[in-house]
Amino acid sequence: MKITSILVSQPAPAALDKSPYAELISKNKLNIEFRPFIKVVGVSAKEFRSQRVDILAHTAVIFTSRTTIDNFFRICEECRVNVPEDMKYLCMTEAIALYLQKYIVYRKRKIFFGKGSFADIMDIVVKHKDERFLVAVSEPHKPEMLKALDKAKIKYDKVVLARTVGNDSVKDLTLDKFGVLAFYSPAEIASLVDFFGSDAYCGCKIATFGTATAKAAMDAGMEVSVLAPTKEHPSMVMALDNYISRFNKGENIDTTYIVESIRQATELNEQVLAKAKVAAKKKKTGVKKSASTTGAVSATTTKAPSKAK
């Protein structure tokens, strides 16, 4: 049986005919339905205060998404917190950094950004290790960054500014009418299981964006057939196009690369944590050497007068 319909767990593009999905639909004669499985809800001022985090006690903020930026400045306004102009901002990507222009004068602030990887951000953090960091997150969030900060002995506090919850508007879906279900985050996988149990999607092919999403799907007992991004297919649309085109031609498609990709991603995270641990040890050793040198100078200074006598 050929794949003729896809469910994408994202909001529909503003202009579908101009989106990457348009060519996918035309080329493979597909029907695509867009239905978000999750939604992000900002925490209330009361919930923020219950975390006992003093924003002004920090000199730098780490942002991993635009959502956390929106909710950070909303909370500041609701709680009447005036963010100082010398506050530093570290962002996962340039796009996230540029989004700060919605709230601040970009050129007057100290803003740093990585290329999207966790390792990039840690390199920047280590260069500014004397700052007191506030890590703005949504729940759930990946623990790797916090673990690395701990290993590197970085002074920081975590603040939850938003929560990802299931979008119950998807409950009316009939999943078995779709050939492929495409998911972009582990939270969407959790929402799928919560709303539909473990049997409603058994006849569907599962496509995932990111190894974390793929791992969440496999941990939930699903067989993942499509993974993006990869070197050959850097986008979900490209990965879907390749898989559906080949599947509809009756080809046997090897999916063992997905398990291997998850293994490599896990090893990379472990390497980043190990790197942070080494950096922390070097910092600690440097402090000890400095103290030792200071002691030696003091001892020499103390002996000098006795020689003069």
**Which pLDDT tens digit goes with each residue over 127-136?**
999 999 999 9
CATH architecture type of domain 41-165: 3-Layer(aba) Sandwich (3.40)
Tell me what pLDDT residue 309 has: 39
For residues 30 and 244, give the distance between their C-alpha atoms in angstroms, rounded to a whole number: 10
75 near 103, Cβ under 8 Å? no
Which has more confidence, 307 or 119?
119
Would you call 278 helix, strand, or coil by DSSP?
Answer: helix
Which has more confidence, 54 or 262?
54
pLDDT value at 297 more than 50: no
For residues 97 and 74, give the distance between their C-alpha atoms in angstroms, rounded to a whole number: 17
For residues 165 and 73, give the distance between their C-alpha atoms in angstroms, rounded to a whole number: 21
What does the DSSP 8-state code read for residue 12?
Answer: P
Read off the pLDDT of residues 6-55 as tens digits, 9 standing for 90 and up. Answer: 999 999 999 999 999 999 999 999 999 999 999 999 999 999 999 999 99
Residue 34: name the closest of 43, 42, 24 by CA: 24
Q: How confident is the model at residue 167 (pLDDT cuts 50, 70, 90)?
A: very high
Q: How confident is the model at residue 237 (pLDDT cuts 50, 70, 90)?
A: very high
Tell me what pLDDT residue 202 has: 75
Mean pLDDT for 270-280 is 70
pLDDT value at 301 more than 50: no
Q: How confident is the model at residue 227 (pLDDT cuts 50, 70, 90)?
A: very high
Please give the structure tokens belonging to residue 256: 């063992």
pLDDT value at 281 more than 90: no
Q: How confident is the model at residue 262 (pLDDT cuts 50, 70, 90)?
A: confident
> What Cα–Cα distance (Å) separates residue 261 from each residue in 23, 41, 225, 246?
27, 32, 13, 21
- Residue boundaries of the structural domains of the chain: 5-37+172-253, 41-165
pLDDT value at 161 more than 60: yes
Largest CA-CA distance found in the chain, in angstroms, rounded: 101
For residues 173 and 51, give the distance between their C-alpha atoms in angstroms, rounded to a whole number: 37
Tell me what pLDDT residue 228 has: 95
Residue 191: name the closest of 7, 1, 9 by CA: 9
Residue 154: name the closest of 213, 240, 90 by CA: 90
Tell me what pLDDT residue 305 has: 45
Would you call 162 helix, strand, or coil by DSSP?
Answer: strand
**Ranges 83-97, 112-126, 164-178, 272-286: which has the least confidence:** 272-286
Q: Please count the CA atoms within 13 angstroms of the CA of 203 that sit on its side-chain side.
A: 11
ω into 229 cis (within 30 of 0): yes
| Amino acid at residue number 278 | V
CATH architecture type of domain 5-37+172-253: 3-Layer(aba) Sandwich (3.40)
State the chain's mean pLDDT as an integer. 87
Cβ-Cβ contacts under 8 Å for 24 (sequence gap 6 or more):
30, 32, 237, 240, 241, 244
User: Does the fold of domain 41-165 match that of domain 5-37+172-253?
Assistant: yes
Tell me what pLDDT residue 304 has: 43
- Classify strands 133-139 and 31-34 as parallel, antiparallel or unpaired: unpaired
